[in-house]
Structure 1
Amino acid sequence: MTQTTLLQYEAPWPVYALDWCKTAAPGQQHRPRSSFRLGIGSLRDDYQNRIAIVGLQDERVLVEDDYTDYPDFPSAAASYAWSQKAATTELLATTGDALKVWEYSSDGPQQVSSYVGRPPTSSGHRLTQKIALSGQSKVQNNQTGAPLTNFSWNEKAPSLVVTSSIDTTCTVWNIDTSTAITQLIAHDREVYDVAWLPGSTDIFVSVGADGSLRAFDLRSLEHSTILYETPAPKNMPPPTASPSSSARPPTSPLLRIAFNPADSNYMSTFHMDGTDIQILDMRSPGQPVMEMRAHRGQINALGWGSTTNPLLASAGDDCQLLLWDLSPYTSFPASGRQKRIVVDPVMAYTGPSEINNLAWSPQIAGMTMHSGHSTDPGEWIALAMGKTIKALKV
């Protein structure tokens, strides 16, 4: 990678959660640099976690966006996402002990008492917590919800957010009214990830520790559809005669789920400690239609780009970011076909250490770099590696 396609930022703490801003800064929609912003969240053992906004200073280096002190909150930033809803202020959200919605804005003065972190500098940038949602669980007899593992912001209806929890539930929230629309017991064990079906305000899918991938429809919550279950381990001892003997034996948990934005029939997932990626087709449930096999260490993250012909990115403990082009294999339905094994990514990048997370940017206009060269409009991938954030042009 050359200097025109690789930027780096060193955070003061280990980074896990990250996401790109989906719109330019208010009032700066035509300035490429104002779109080049990342929200990041720390992953600390003491649970005094911090979030920050990182942006471009001069097309050469990523810097904190006017923050020297960071907002802190007593929960792990399990996930992080920026709303695509255009407004004079921008919303971002985190999950941990609760779903928290933050407002990032750069207009006029505001009372100091409402700041999370330090007051803004002369630029007027500020980050304030607007909402904290943590409802009582259906499966626990306490007054607060169990820790949340992840969430998905609905692109079509930005007021809708669905969260997943270790208490086996998923909850759909309306953040405009700060209320839970519904909470359902989604899995037999912890739920690790959740995602809205692109273009839908009713259907979402989830994966969890029970090794299953399930689809839910808010219009018919009496049942869910199991799209995939991890095969039970071979050579398992016979079940003992106990009330739980009919329970499904332990299987490898599924950690993440992501839809192909160009064809929402296709989903990608991977197993805990796994080195392969499974591609599933909603029209042909039960078995993966493809597996991507190239990582030499466990996979930690995956995500799809948003171009017309999107690439799938995966990253893991082998320090590798791999980009896959699945378009040759997804141009016709999977029914009746043998599972394809894909072993050749179209691009690869080796980082200096294990890659814990990744995030695709939206399309960002071209920028003139310090070398005098101009970058073409396109997408970037941000990688989290310990305290280091690297942004790579694709």
Structure 2
Amino acid sequence: MTTPQSIPSLPPMPNPNQQASSSRPSTGNHSHSYSRSSPAGLDQQKYAPFPATPESSSKYSSTPTNRYAPSQPGQGDTLYSPLGLADIRSGIDAGLSDPASANPYSSDSYPNVATNSNYLAPWPVYAFDWCKWPIQNQQRGNSAGKMAIGSYVEDGHNFIQILETQVTPEQDNEGQPDAPQYGLDYVKTAEATHSYPVTRILWEPASSKKQSTDLLATSGDHLRLWSLPSQPSYNSSNSISRPSSSHQQPPAKLTPLALLSNSKSPEHTAPLTSLDWNTVSPSLIITSSIDTTCTIWDIPTLTAKTQLIAHDKEVFDVRFCANSVDVFVSCGADGSVRMFDLRSLEHSTIIYEPSEKGDSKSTSPGNLSPTSAQQQMSQSPPLLRLAASPHDAHLLATFSQESNLIRVLDVRQPGQALLELRGHSSAISCCEWSPSRRGMLASGGDDSLVLVWDLLNQSTSAPGASNGPAGGPGGEAREQIPVASWQCDYEVGNLSWAPQSGLTASGRDWLGVSGGRGIWGVCM
């Protein structure tokens, strides 16, 4: 794959769209509606929004007092914990965990990729992350890294599982150069109960200070930190691609390290819709909530550094921008993507705010009455998810509720989409940038399709696409076609790219896909 020197960008635009940042105290008068198309939209009891922007970190103890008692570092903790978390590991009580349509890309013109690796969970899977740490330990064979999955069950009984993946040869594909020569075997090594559907699960970002991690975070009713057992079990397998050859044993239990709430009252807290872990400074985690706020957490001290009102309605997703500890972006039910800088919270930049196409062409904002402007704002569909490019800090991808269109945004040119990616025939549910290939993006949707887009090696524009730049005189945002597709057996819930390992040594990338109760390993 050849790589051009730069990614397409828009011509400069004057007067970037900015508005005053909402780093003001909350009045507690926000009204919230629940959308069933997002993990934020579960039927929950009424909650009390956090009444004010925190003035000190003392308001953010790890709830309730002494529930997660700090202890002194134990011997050997240094290998696993460069974040200062060793002091909360040793004395933790193990009982603290919760109680128990037509396919437009199906023709031979667009290459389909085959899957040969499956895992079946006992419950619907939503949250999913394939640990991106480079594979170091090959003592148990050719490891392809750890996976973390979380359930989506609309009651108080949810679960987390940790899977160890192993590369296995696919003898049935020998002599077929286009078919994967390797597959995946899954071994469940640990699990835990979770009282709320897991809206996002993430492994600690890779670091040069150590070789592996046992730390992960989840969002749901609270921000929770978990630790893998020191000696996980490798005997429980539920792979449906091949039978287990070992005796089934109960998996080990994840150790709960901390439970952090953005509300004063642990009994009445607004659910968290997403989280992101800063790759430059892994001591920072940011969360988004349906109470309109985003909160920056300092992990070693288990306190909130900053909390701000980020949107006018629920915040559905949040991401740190690449190579930055200060800049982050969020999207939400008000239909906007906003960018914040922790060094200057007086203002936020509205990166994108879609409007009805007919209105945007016939009426300028200056000619709208306040009532008409408010009505047009209310018509903007909620933006459900964000993906920030790990290679280009200015590139984002997002999609709106019930939309089959992905918009690629350039934060340097607020107000319009750089590219529009059309290929799904039903609502999109997820999108994720490749961590190893610059400009490559994968998406999944309710049409059970996984599509892969290469923004650097641009494909031929789809019929009806414009020749001009996005939003420019030549037409609307440029369109292009995917470079690969794969049909899942179920609606796609989430995606996660594989880490660099023996699985990807041949030069082919692998993509993890969750749908229904299954996890699939897809060789691209």
Task: Place the TM-score, normalised by the shorter chain, in its bin.
Answer: 0.7 to 0.9
Give the distance between the partners of 1:334 and 1:28, measured in 2 at CA: 47
Report which of the two structures shows the higher radius of gyration computed on alpha carbons. Answer: 2
Amino acid aligned to 2:510:
W
Aligned twin of 1:83: 204
Show structure 2 runs of 5+ residues with no match. 1-111, 169-182, 234-247, 361-367, 460-468
Is the contact between residue 21 and residue 35 of structure 1 (CA under 8 Å) also seen in structure 2?
A: no
Whether 1:307 and 2:436 are equivalent positions in the alignment is yes
Give the distance between the partners of 2:141 and 2:470, measured in 1 at CA: 40
- Give the drift of 1:355: 0.8
Greater Cα shift, 257-266 or 337-346: 337-346
Is the contact between residue 134 and residue 144 of structure 1 (CA under 8 Å) also seen in structure 2?
A: no
* Match of residue 283, structure 1, among 412, 416, 421: 412
Q: Percent identity at matched positions?
A: 39
- Give the drift of 1:289: 1.4
Decide whether aligned partners of structure 1 residues 233 and 284 sit closer, same or farther in structure 2, where only a CA change above 3 A counts.
closer
Give the distance between the partners of 1:61 and 1:41, measured in 2 at CA: 20
* Match of residue 449, structure 2, among 304, 320, 329: 320
Aligned twin of 1:220: 344
**Per-residue Cα deviation, 1:57-81 (whole angstroms, up to 9, x for no partner):** 56255334334xx410211100111
* Match of residue 380, structure 1, among 510, 513, 517: 510
- Give 3-state SS (helix, strand or coil) of 2:390's partner: coil
**Cα RMSD for the two superposed structures:** 3.3
**Per-residue Cα deviation, 1:252-275 (whole angstroms, up to 9, x for no partner):** 011111122222211110010000
Equivalent residues in 2 for 1:67-216 (5 A)? 67=190, 70-86=191-207, 87=210, 89-107=213-231, 126-136=253-263, 144-216=268-340
Aligned twin of 1:361: 498
* Match of residue 7, structure 1, among 114, 117, 132: 117
**What TM-score comes out, normalization by structure 2 length?**
0.63
Is the contact between residue 281 and residue 289 of structure 1 (CA under 8 Å) also seen in structure 2?
A: yes
Amino acid aligned to 1:209:
A
Whether 1:346 and 2:475 are equivalent positions in the alignment is no
- Give the drift of 1:107: 4.7
Aligned twin of 2:128: 18
Whether 1:40 and 2:167 are equivalent positions in the alignment is no
Decide whether aligned partners of structure 1 residues 356 and 308 sit closer, same or farther in structure 2, where only a CA change above 3 A counts.
closer
Aligned twin of 2:379: 250
Give the distance between the partners of 2:402 and 2:435, measured in 1 at CA: 27
Give the distance between the partners of 1:289 and 1:227, measured in 2 at CA: 11
Give the distance between the partners of 1:311 and 1:250, measured in 2 at CA: 31
**Per-residue Cα deviation, 1:195-223 (whole angstroms, up to 9, x for no partner):** 00100000000000000000000001112
Amino acid aligned to 1:348:
S
Give the distance between the partners of 2:342 and 2:257, measured in 1 at CA: 26
Amino acid aligned to 2:255:
T
Amino acid aligned to 1:133:
L
Greater RCO, 1 or 2 (C-alpha within 8 Å, sep 6+): 2
Show structure 1 runs of 5+ residues with no match. 110-120, 368-374
Is the contact between residue 293 and residue 341 of structure 1 (CA under 8 Å) also seen in structure 2?
A: no
* Match of residue 296, structure 1, among 414, 418, 425: 425
- Give 3-state SS (helix, strand or coil) of 2:143's partner: helix
Is the contact between residue 22 and residue 35 of structure 1 (CA under 8 Å) also seen in structure 2?
A: no
Is the contact between residue 24 and residue 34 of structure 1 (CA under 8 Å) also seen in structure 2?
A: no
Give the distance between the partners of 1:76 and 1:366, measured in 2 at CA: 31
Greater Cα shift, 141-150 or 43-52: 141-150
- Give the drift of 1:311: 1.4
Decide whether aligned partners of structure 1 residues 337 and 98 sit closer, same or farther in structure 2, where only a CA change above 3 A counts.
farther
Is the contact between residue 227 and residue 257 of structure 2 (CA under 8 Å) also seen in structure 1?
A: yes
Is the contact between residue 113 and residue 523 of structure 2 (CA under 8 Å) also seen in structure 1?
A: no
Whether 1:65 and 2:188 are equivalent positions in the alignment is yes
Give the distance between the partners of 1:174 and 1:217, measured in 2 at CA: 17
* Match of residue 272, structure 1, among 383, 401, 404: 401
- Give 3-state SS (helix, strand or coil) of 1:198's partner: coil
Is the contact between residue 213 and residue 228 of structure 1 (CA under 8 Å) also seen in structure 2?
A: yes
Is the contact between residue 143 and residue 167 of structure 2 (CA under 8 Å) also seen in structure 1?
A: no
Give the distance between the partners of 2:343 and 2:332, measured in 1 at CA: 23
Give the distance between the partners of 1:301 and 1:44, measured in 2 at CA: 19
Greater Cα shift, 336-345 or 73-82: 336-345
* Match of residue 49, structure 1, among 141, 158, 171: 158
Give the distance between the partners of 1:292 and 1:108, measured in 2 at CA: 42
Higher share in strand: 1
Give the distance between the partners of 1:219 and 1:34, measured in 2 at CA: 41
- Give 3-state SS (helix, strand or coil) of 2:186's partner: strand
- Give the drift of 1:2: 8.0
Is the contact between residue 430 and residue 443 of structure 2 (CA under 8 Å) also seen in structure 1?
A: yes
- Give the drift of 1:146: 0.6
Give the distance between the partners of 2:130 and 2:232, measured in 1 at CA: 24
**Per-residue Cα deviation, 1:140-183 (whole angstroms, up to 9, x for no partner):** x9874310000110000001001000010000001111000000
